[in-house]
Chain A
Amino acid sequence: MSLFWIPVLLLIGVFVPLITERFGRTACAFFTMLAPALALTQIAGLLPEVLSGEVLTESLAWIPAVGLTLSMRLDGLGMMFSLLILGIGLLIILYARYYLSEKDAMGRFYAYLILFMTAMLSIVLSNNLLQLWMAWEVTSISSFLLISYWSSKTDSRKGARMALTVTGAGGLALLAGLLIIADIVGSYDLATVLASGDVIREHAMYPVALILVLLGAFTKSAQFPFHFWLPHAMAAPTPVSAYLHSATMVKAGIFLLARMYPVLSGTELWFLTVSLTGLATLLLGAYVALFKHDLKGLLAYSTISHLGLITLLLGMDTKLAAVAAVFHIMNHAIFKASLFMAAGIIDHESGSRDMRKLNGLWRYMPYTATLAMVAAASMAGVPLLNGFLSKEMFFAETLHQVALGSLSWMIPVLATLGGIFSVAYSLRFIHDVFFNGEPIDIPKTPHEPPRYMKIPIEILVTMCLLVGIFPSFMIGSLLQAASSTVLDGQLPEYSLSVWHGFNLPLLMSAIAMAGGLLVYAYRGRLYSFQAQFRETDAKLVFEGVIQAIVRQATAFHEWMANGSLQRYVALLLLLTLVMTASPLMELNSAAGHLPHQPVNGIEITAAILLCISALATVILHRQRMVALITLSVVGLIVSITFARFSAPDLALTQLAVEVVTVILLMLALFFLPQKTKNESSPRRVVRDLGIAAVCGGVIATINYAIITRPFDSISEFFLANSKTGGGGTNVVNVILVDFRGFDTLGEITVLGIAALGIFKLIARMRLAMPSADEKGRAWSEDRHPLILAMISQSLLPLALLVSVYIFLRGHNMPGGGFIAGLVTSVALIQQYIAHGVDWIKPRIKVDYQVLIASGVLIAALTGAGSWLFDKPFLTSWFDYFDIPWIGKIELASAILFDLGVYLTVVGATLLILANLGKLTTRHRPTVEE
């Protein structure tokens, strides 16, 4: 089975819980587990091949033209992470079934969880940098959804927002870093990138790329100083914390470090940055964890500390350290998931997570307590448990460090110090919760959880023990495969046995144990010391910063976009002016060398009429009605000009649009004040006049410069191919329905959407109607004058005939669906004007919205029809037929397309105009809620 199936399977699985939620909670959990379980068996089936060192890759050309491919890769590291993600994920699903209460929306929870799982798995299986980054971002978003699952709690929302902001910002840095790397290598392909480590490390941009990638990894893995989001993400339901902060989310950053290890590591910069960050995080996390009274808070800081440990290992200059890092990734995932789940059970069954209240739970839940204690012991690094093994390896590696020169002895000392605190907080987790007296006023009487809630922990704790006792048998080969991926095949010698004899690492472990006991015993003093520091709440600081940024952004936005349309237009025109005028300055003379065409008196007359009426419109624009009339003159003259200069299609369209516009304006004008006051200051008038005049001058100059120069346009092609390629002699129409049919399809879709938008906008609108005209005269009593009604009615068939005629001949002579549609609409609007909505309503039973939809559908289906003949979308077909009596006629599929255009235009125009008209009648448009 293809590797691609694994994320696809999970993606389908996202919808499973939403569908099966109605069958009950247990059924929902069961069905939700199917997809990950299937994926797990698929992955596990590939285990032998991967363990033998094979790297399975598959790719799928996505957009080959720009070099984008979907590419999957399953190697040792990916295998280890996939097993953790899917295995622990399955346990979490089972656990969450019992953790979530009946009030919680289970389907939504599982859907988010599976989405997150998909994204996480896509990260580790990705063989392409961009693809990896996409999945990375999806983990940020889906983890945001998971953390804010209890969205009614302000803590959840704030914690989720913080996590999203920090990891999202890191994601942007990561994108930049990956783009630089891809630029250096020349490919997004991970295999290529992994093979070009030397090229990258020697490139001048290497430091920049490294820092950016590290920013991405460190934010995701909650490394100091970006660690502050993780404790606040604990507001999530515990199953989420158990999943996100053990095997997944935070491990994504670690995975990235491990993935890029062969490429980016090996330089001084890498070692210093990564190891020091890791060390700081390790110590800080371990120290703070001890002071957290919240059970999950303790685990959160412990997670930070362990992530620091892994980062430190990856930043060390030895190959064995990388092996230890990989090992610890596994171990930490296993024991931390079980600890979180145990904490969830304690919270669930006792109603509190405060360790100052929780005491002596051993007597109430001995079974859970035993499990939790084993896991906590593993966290502390007690022998015979998995945590011990990787910690030993860690201690051993710190002894070989030279990165700090003569100060390198500090590293093992600080590591031991971290170990001491780690033991201390693990002790606290055990002692404070399960022993140390009696519980103090907790809301519930604690008891053992349901049977199945314990199963996930049992499995994980068994793993802790088995790995701790038989390490090489349990995970030897997997560790080997994963480490050899990280180290690019050069595996060092190491032994996975429990006993290495008496040596320095063992002594360090012993010191950590003893020190931890001591620290825990005298913790009271440490608490009072720590109490002297004022605690800063990262949430408050973060919110403060966010609010400051929002304030700045708002202020900037208000300064830029203050809502004044006049200002926007002025700025827009000024910018246009700057951009168009500067090239004109370089032109020596506006006039080209083409001879001028002769002009006659009629043309001059039209030009003068056009100028006067345009000027009159501007001057009279405060008297709206008069301005509308002068504007009509402008439109009329422009139409005639189109006709004169051999553009009959344009002339027809302009005429029809002109009338529709005038009607539209009058409909709107009715609700507007008839006269407006002069509000502009004289200075502003001068400024605006200046801008407008210069703009007009510039545009006129451009036009003049273009038409007086020879200019090769693409029209020659259309003229030559219109008849042969599109089967029509009207080039304009052939362009619309054939050459540029796809554009037209887009345009009518937009037209339809615009009409629906306007319909929605004016639906339920209530407007005050003026009771008299501008001079205060009452409106006429005669609503529908008889003569007008009669004439209009007789006009309708004529107009429809004209529109059919224009429609049918459109392919070869001026006309077409667009003009015909406008003519039909105007004819129908005329009936609205003459008879009113009440008269029309029972006579025209067509729903204009349906008309629009069917128009767009017909056009689209006509386009899709060409697929039936194995032709590209919208290939038109035409042929000539000899029909007796009628003669030879041409049939083209384009006419169907044109029909779609026609219907959309009619529907859109009438939907807008008729509904605007209806605003004043009792047929106000309404929209069902």
Chain B
Amino acid sequence: MLEWSMIAVGVMLCVALFLNLWRLLIGPHVVDRILALDTMYINSIALILLYGMYNGTQLYFEAALLIAMLGFVSSVAFGKYLLRGDIIE
């Protein structure tokens, strides 16, 4: 049962990632693209966690942790860039 649900989640995540990329490419606004990228970060975290569960290892959870933390910084930097142009002032 768990195996099946994991596969289903995997499929859904892949579809979500495709849709994210689609939004990222068509825009139309830069904000759409940044949001799409941020969502891709989140979906990637899910993907890595799913992979860890599937293989029964925790080795990859740090990667997920880092994406969560650093993806935020990256999105903040993009936002600040839109807002002020100069991200460190």
Listed in ascending order, the chain A residues whose CB lies under 8 Å from chain B are 601-602, 605, 608-609, 612-613, 616, 625-626, 629-630, 632-633, 636, 639-640, 643-644, 648, 651-652, 655-656, 658-659, 662-663, 666-667, 669-670, 769-770, 773, 779-780, 782-783, 785, 788, 792, 795, 798-799, 802, 806, 813-815, 823, 826-827, 829-830, 832-834, 836-837, 913-914, 916-918, 920-921
Q: A670-B87, A773-B82 are in contact. Are A826 and B73 (CB under 8 A)?
A: yes
Residues of chain B at interface, number, CB under 8 A: 48
Contact among B33, B77, B89 with A663 in the assembled complex (CB-CB below 8 Å): B77
- Given A779-B83, A823-B66, residue A629 in contact with residue B88 (CB < 8 A): no
Q: A769 to B36, alpha carbons, bound, how many Å?
A: 29
Task: Evaluate contact between B14 and A830: CB separation under 8 angstroms.
Answer: no
Cα distance A620–B82 in the bound complex, in angstroms:
18
Interface string of B21-41 (1 = CB under 8 A from A): 100110100100110110011
Q: Which of B14, B44, B70 interacts with A826 by CB under 8 Å?
A: B70
The 8 closest A-B pairs by CB, nearest first: A917-B88, A605-B14, A659-B70, A780-B83, A832-B88, A651-B63, A643-B63, A655-B66
Judge whether A792 and B76 touch: CB under 8 Å. Answer: yes
* Residue of A with least CB distance to B34: A629
Chain B residues with a Cβ under 8 A of chain A:
10-11, 13-14, 17-18, 21, 24-25, 27, 30, 33-34, 36-37, 40-41, 44, 47-48, 51, 59-60, 62-63, 65-67, 69-74, 76-89
Q: Across the interface, do B62 and A814 meet the contact criterion of CB distance under 8 Å?
A: yes
CB atoms of A833 and B10 under 8 A apart: no
Neighbour of A633 across the interface among B37, B72, B87, CB < 8 A: B37
Roughly how many angstroms separate A918 CA and B66 CA in the complex, as a whole number? 27
Q: How far is the CA of A783 from the CA of B30 in the complex (A)?
A: 20
Chain B: which residue is nearest A918 at the CB level? B88
Contact A632–B63 (Cβ < 8 Å) = no
A602 with B25, Cβ < 8 A, contacts A633-B40, A826-B70, A918-B88 known: no
Q: A13 vs B6: C-alpha distance in the bound complex, in angstroms?
A: 80
Instruction: Name which residue of chain A comes closest to B13, CB basis.
Output: A602
How far is B27's CA from A832's CA once the two chains are assembled, in angstroms? 29
Q: Is the CB of B62 within 8 A of A648?
A: yes
Contacts of B21 in A (CB 8 A): 609, 612-613, 633
**Does A659 contact B73, Cβ atoms closer than 8 Å?**
yes
Interface pairs (27), CB distance under 8 Å:
A605-B17, A616-B25, A625-B30, A629-B24, A629-B34, A630-B24, A630-B25, A633-B24, A636-B40, A640-B48, A648-B59, A652-B62, A652-B63, A652-B66, A655-B63, A666-B87, A667-B88, A779-B85, A783-B89, A788-B76, A788-B80, A795-B69, A802-B65, A823-B70, A833-B73, A833-B76, A913-B88
* CB pair A666 B78 closer than 8 Å: yes
**Closest beta carbon of chain B to A769's beta carbon, Å:** 7
Q: Closest CB of chain B to A728's CB: distance in Å?
A: 15
A667-B87, A837-B89 known; A830 and B76 CB under 8 Å?
yes
Given contacts A780-B83, A833-B80, contact A917 B89 (CB under 8 A): yes
| Residues of chain A within 8 A of B87, CB atoms compared | 663, 666-667, 670, 833, 917
**What separation, in Å, do the CA atoms of A377 and B33 have in the docked complex?**
96
What residues of chain A lie closer than 8 Å to B83, measured between beta carbons?
Answer: 779-780, 782, 785
Residues of B within 8 A of A918 (CB): 88
| Cβ A625 vs Cβ B44 within 8 A | no
